[in-house]
Amino acid sequence: MYEVDAKPSEKMVKKQVLDVKATTEALCDNTPVTPAPITTAIAKIPVVLAELTVQINIDAKINLPEPAIELKRINKRLKVTQCRLIQNTNKLFISGFIRKNIEYATRKFSNKEGICGNISHCTVDVPWNCVTAITEFVTAPAPVLFNTSDQFEYLVQQDLGPKFPAKDQLLSGDLTELNQVTTEFFNELPFCELISATITEFDEALDRKDPYYAAPFEEFEFDSIQEKIVIDLTLKVLQKQQVAINGL
């Protein structure tokens, strides 16, 4: 006869403890040092070519993956994927997207008195692009230098053969060789710096349907959103140029 221990074996469980440790740093003394600047120099630094506010208008439709009964919150961030000044013109090409996180309420249970459900979210990218003309430059862009390729050849003298007088010769360029001088210029590409972006939008539910279940009379479901968006984007167009710095 064997005796069976009725007490189950206890498993060792590591206890998790939330701990915060902090220390107070002592105050350190410092001594100001006067810098010794260069009085005259030539520096290569970003120069502002233009600063402007561009207004971008967007009309978008977003289809939700499930029926919703209410929009709760929409968080958005502006992203710029291209900002390119086409040199020798005043045209600025800009493109990007708005990253939107849409939170909405869904139905799980309902009756004539109310609706219960979950809060879902959907993250989408709304693309946009435009071309704007810079009417006035603060600083003119550096002139574009074009690559060159030149060819040169040498004079050769050749006999004409028995059909021509012996003293005559064929004078021409040498076709048996190719001599070239090629020059490449590596121009500085203008670039953009974002300052601020104001996004004003109007969101409206589309394809509204009466629910097929018991619900309060004013409730409805929708699965599409129509958006009217106006973006006011302020940016700087810059280019690295050589600037003379003279001491005062």
122/124 Cα distance (integer angstroms) = 6
* pLDDT (tens digit per residue) in 109-147: 767 766 777 888 999 999 999 999 999 999 999 999 999
Strand ordering across the sheet containing 70-85: 70-85, 91-105, 119-133
If DSSP codes are grouped into helix, strand and coil, which group holds residue 34? coil
- Same domain? For 233 and 217 the reply is yes
202 within some domain: yes
Q: Which amino acid is at 98?
A: I
Same domain, 225 and 111: yes
Total number of domains constituting the chain: 2
Q: Pairing relation of β-strands 109-111 and 91-105?
A: unpaired
Pull the structure tokens for residue 213: 């279940």
pTM of the model: 0.74
- Cα 102 from Cα 74, distance rounded (Å): 5
Residue 44 exposed, middle or buried by CB count within 10 Å (0-12, 13-18, 19+): exposed
Range of the domain at 49: 41-142+187-241
Residues 108 and 172 in one domain: no
- pLDDT per residue rounded down to tens, the chain (248 residues): 444 455 555 556 566 788 888 888 889 999 999 988 888 888 999 999 999 999 999 999 999 888 888 888 999 999 999 999 998 899 999 999 999 999 998 877 767 766 777 888 999 999 999 999 999 999 999 999 999 999 988 888 888 788 888 777 778 888 888 889 999 999 999 999 999 999 999 988 887 777 667 666 556 788 889 999 999 999 999 999 999 888 65
